[in-house]
Amino acid sequence: MAVTSRRPIVPITELEHSAFCKTEDQLPSKSLAEEMVVNVRWQRIPPEYLHFSPEELDRRIGESREKLGSSVTILGHHYQREEVIKYADFQGDSFLLSREAANRPEADHIIFCGVHFMAETACILAAPHQKVVLPNITAGCSMADMAPMEDVDDAWADLTEVLGPGGILPVTYMNSIAGIKALCGRNGGAVCTSSNAKAVVEWAFTQSERVLFLPDQHLGRNTALELGVPLDEMVVWNPFRQMGGNTPEQLRKAKMVLWQGHCSVHTRFTTGQIDSARALHPDINIIVHPECPMETVQAADMVGSTEFIREKINSAPAGSKWGVGTEVSLVNRLAINNPDKTIFCLDPVTCPCSTMYRIHPAYLLWMLDGLVAGTVINQITVPDDIMRDSRIALERMLSLK
**Which region among 21-29, 98-106, 141-149, 313-321 touches ligand SF4 (by CB under 6 A)?**
141-149
* Least Cβ distance, residue 142 to ligand SF4 (angstroms): 5
Long-range pairs for 371-375 at CB < 8 Å and ≥24 separation? 371/64, 371/68, 371/71, 371/72, 371/109, 372/64, 372/67, 372/68
CA 287 to chain centre: 18
Question: Taking CB under 6 A as the rule, does residue 392 contact ligand SF4?
Answer: no
Q: Are 180 and 149 in contact (CB under 8 A)?
A: yes
SS3 assignment, position 136:
coil
Interface residue with ligand SF4 among 64, 175, 285, 350 (CB under 6 A) is 175
Interface residue with ligand SF4 among 29, 138, 142, 193 (CB under 6 A) is 142
* Least Cβ distance, residue 9 to ligand SF4 (angstroms): 17
Minimum CB distance to ligand SF4 smaller for 147 or for 367: 147
What is the layout of strands, in order, in the sheet containing 211-214? 190-192, 169-173, 211-214, 256-259, 234-237
Minimum CB distance to ligand SF4 smaller for 151 or for 327: 327
Size of residue set near ligand SF4 by CB under 6 A: 13
Interface residue with ligand SF4 among 29, 31, 195, 355 (CB under 6 A) is 355
Interface residue with ligand SF4 among 98, 121, 222, 264 (CB under 6 A) is 264
In DSSP notation, 265-314 reads TGGG--HHHHHHHHHH-TTPEEEE-TTS-HHHHHHSSEE--HHHHHHHHH
The CA distance from 349 to 26, in Å, is 10
The CA distance from 184 to 50, in Å, is 41
Question: Taking CB under 6 A as the rule, does residue 193 contact ligand SF4?
Answer: no
Give the DSSP H/E element, type plus range, for residue 161.
helix 149-163
Q: Are 247 and 205 in contact (CB under 8 A)?
A: no
Interface residue with ligand SF4 among 75, 110, 224, 356 (CB under 6 A) is 356
Question: Taking CB under 6 A as the rule, does residue 353 contact ligand SF4?
Answer: yes
Q: Which of residues 64-83 bind ligand SF4 (CB under 6 A)?
A: 79
Interface residue with ligand SF4 among 110, 132, 143, 155 (CB under 6 A) is 143
Interface residue with ligand SF4 among 137, 263, 286, 300 (CB under 6 A) is 263
Question: Which positions touch ligand SF4 (CB under 6 A)?
Answer: 79, 115, 141-143, 175, 263-265, 327, 353, 355-356
